[in-house]
A and B are shown apart, each in its own frame.
Chain A
Amino acid sequence: MATLADAPAAGTDDAFREEVRAFLAENFAPELKGNNNALSAVEGPSTETPAQKKWREAMGERGWGTPTWPKEYGGGGLSRAQAKILNEEMMKAGAWNPIGGMGVMMFGPTLLEYGSEAQKHEHIPPICRGEVRWCQGYSEPNAGSDLANLQAFAEDKGDHYLVNGQKTWTSGGQWADKCFCLVRTDRSDKHKGISFLLIDMDAPGVEVRPIQMISGVSPFCETFFTDVKVPKENLVGEEGQGWTIGKRLLQHERTNISGGGSMARMMGPSVSDIARAYGETDADGRIADPVLRDKIADYEIRWNTFLLTARRAAEESKASGGVSEISSVLKKLGTKLGQERAELTIEIMGLQGLGWEGEGFTEKELEGVRGWLFGKAFTIYGGSTEIQNNIIAKRVLGMLDHQ
């Protein structure tokens, strides 16, 4: 990706490390430690404290929330080595990245690759400053795994499109400022009739209805477009290029889902620690139930191995300059392990691990239950496990199309 260019290092690595330390000492107030409030699309509206706001603005001004993005669009312009130093120093200081959400994880990298100069200058800097919340207008009631079946239509009206249709599973739609959207501009060709359009969520004709989920919360919405006027300059790439651009964005999404993202936030203590806290241990501090201990060891071995596989995929991609073929298995493996972890945790905790609300449960316990339920989405969104299997079989293993 040429647009994510490695900028020449400003001075030595040591000098940069000093610069980062000085910046953190000046801008990251100690009371912010563990007090994370990244601008995330799925976790509710931003309720920033003044200290959090100051921290976001300081990071945004430097572009360090998006450290390797080009400086000309508001990114940090750092080399990979410098970004690593920044990350290391932030971890040491207990500092978190206040710039996040779908704009950073999915839309930004895609726009940097496919957007026009004007679009990049308009949309990337606010993402880098953490000022704008993006949502994803992909799925429709009849276009889930068969995403290319989408029907929301953008009619050409000369200087603008008139958009009509319905999107669903719009994560954080009720809090989003803007939506990157796949719409149909041509009904005669399933894939080549799709275009990639940017829509203001406060434009007249946009209506958002939250969907209550099995977890009890409503992180996803239905989004309705009724005669929504969208200026032509909000088309990314060419008309009909939407499927290509949209798939590229999904690669970023999958990397984030499997490589941590929403799942890593749920991690917290290890399963073995939970087992020792909630179950019996023997005189040596071992988990007393040998069957449970075996199960936990099996899980932790596979989780450790998954982390090794993710690291290997990154190293191989870097060494070859392309995408490693094992990247295709990360989403499927990581999401399954994330779900298994939640199930195993509940098994360890017994009924104490199934609290829905109210007294008798700690905040962490209740969060864990909601997380277990929310986590059922891991293997469905971002391309279900079954779709991942199709991709692996066809693209990596060269097995023929079954249709």
Chain B
Amino acid sequence: MAVLNEEQEMLRDMARDWATNESPVSAFRKMRDSKPDERYLADTWSAMAAMGWAGIVIPETYGGSDFGWMSAGLVVEELGKTLAASPLTMTTLAASAIVLGGSDEQKAKWLPALAAGEKVATLAIDEGPHHAPDKIAASVSGGKLTGTKAFVHEAHGTDLFVVAATDGLYLVEKGDGVSLSGRALTDQRSHANVTFDGAAADKLASGGDDLLDQILDRARILTACEMLGMAQQVFDVTLDYLKQRVQFNQVLATFQALQHRMADLFADLAQMRSAVEAGLEALDSGHGIGRAAAIAKATANDVLHTVSREGIQLHGGIGMTDEYDIGFYLKRARVLEASWGSSSQMRDRFATLSGF
């Protein structure tokens, strides 16, 4: 754990208490089984908004708290532990796109509503099952956007899309010319293919040529925070299980073969936390963001992949049941691994940014 300031510690403790008491994994189960239109529970989101979490990276002039990315990351990590289903991450990322690339008018129109949680927003970047920001076909002509975005996170409940087109990023409101076709993935959260057919598009013109890269780096780092929370939880739950389960008249935790596997995972997890926190520090300092994001996402992908597999294996047959939570982490893990950059893509980007 990074050495935090008082404000960050308070925020983290608040998020931890809330997730544990108000949004445990049973809340995710309830959402999954009741399948609300938005794919999250309305009271979950309103509670988060009431605590100000939607405005953590939004400037105070626009109704946010401007606490910074480390603070945002701490909250997202805690929510990842209990798989709290909400549009918090996506709304935060979309808001940061407006902060970086929006005009004063666009900021005034959207940021206060996003900070208050009155509106929900998301990113619509990729157009196929793989993250491929260099293969964008959606285009804008005469202020009208045409194209299809694939597997858009939190599409069901969103009010606003930040859409990547051939010549930059655009704001598109849900409404005329926007249609959704849901894609139920293993994590049973909100994903949809979104078709824009001449939808009114408002360009984010101020962010510079690399605005999309800047947003994607933020997406990689914040997603890695959720993954860190998930990996930590899988590890903790598995360790508890090994200390309770008895076979051959002894608890599993006494077997050296299992102890060494847990020691390996513990070391992996230490590396993952370092990489993720360094990503957040880079965002707050503004230095070395691209490389830090590549390191954070590549490490998060690889470690969560391993931890989520080992979590099931070390639970044995009971880990295969829907009754146990452990499988949910595996099913969310792969979705996040494939979003915003696979490990090999992140390594390629790291190498390019490092000059080899």
Q: Chain A: residues with CB nearer than 8 A to chain B?
A: 272-273, 275-276, 285-287, 293-294, 296-298, 300-302, 304-306, 308-309, 311-312, 315-316, 319, 326, 329, 332-333, 386, 388-390, 392-394, 396-402
Q: Do B355 and A285 have beta carbons less than 8 Å apart?
A: yes
Bound: A272/B294 CA distance, A: 17
Picked from B3, B256, B266, B295, the residue with its CB within 8 Å of the CB of A305 is B295
List of A residues within 8 angstroms of B347 by Cβ: 294, 297-298, 301
Q: Does A272 lie within 8 Å of B351, measured CB to CB?
A: yes
Instruction: Tell me whether B259 and A390 are in contact (CB under 8 A).
Output: yes
Q: Which residue of the partner chain, among B3, B256, B262, B354, contacts A397 with CB atoms under 8 Å?
A: B262
Q: Give the residue of A286, A301, A319 whose beta carbon is less than 8 angstroms from that of B294.
A: A301
Closest to B3 in A: A319
Name the B residues within 8 Å of A399 (CB-CB).
239, 242-243, 253-254, 258-259, 262
Q: Could you tell me if A398 and B243 are in contact, using CB atoms closer than 8 angstroms?
A: yes
- Give the chain B neighbours of A272 by CB distance below 8 A: 351, 354-356
Shortest C-beta distance, A127 to chain B (Å), equals 32
With A301-B299, A386-B260 known as contacts, the answer to whether A329 contacts B267 (CB < 8 A) is yes
Q: Are A393 and B350 in contact (CB under 8 A)?
A: no
Q: In the complex, A316→B273 CA distance in Å? A: 13
Q: How large is the interface on B (under 10, 10 to 19, 20 to 34, 35 or more residues)?
A: 35 or more
B351 CB contact (under 8 Å) in A297, A311, A390:
A297
Q: Is the CB of B260 within 8 A of A389?
A: yes
Chain A's nearest CB lies how many Å from the CB of B248?
Answer: 12
A386 cross-chain contacts in B, Cβ below 8 A: 260
A271 to chain B, nearest CB (A): 9
In the bound complex, residues from chain B placing their C-beta under 8 Å from that of A275 are: 356
Nearest residue (CB) in A for B281 is A308
Q: Give the CA-CA distance A20 to B259 in the complex, in Å.
A: 49
Task: Point out residues on B near A: beta carbons under 8 Å.
Answer: 1-3, 239, 242-243, 251, 253-256, 258-260, 262-264, 266-267, 270-271, 273-275, 277-278, 294-295, 298-299, 343-344, 346-348, 350-352, 354-356
Q: A392-B266, A402-B255 are known contacts. Are A297 and B350 too (CB-CB below 8 A)? A: yes
* Contact in complex: A304, B295 (CB < 8 Å): yes
Q: Can you report 27 A-B residue pairs in the complex whose CB atoms are below 8 A from each other?
A: A272-B351, A286-B352, A296-B351, A298-B347, A300-B350, A301-B294, A304-B295, A305-B275, A306-B271, A311-B274, A312-B273, A312-B277, A316-B1, A332-B263, A386-B260, A389-B263, A389-B264, A392-B267, A393-B256, A393-B260, A394-B259, A397-B259, A397-B262, A397-B266, A398-B243, A399-B253, A400-B251
Q: Is the CB of A293 within 8 A of B3?
A: no
**Contact A397 to B263, CB < 8 A, known contacts A286-B352, A300-B350:** yes
Kindly state the separation between the CA atoms of A306 and B275 in the bound complex, as whole angstroms: 9
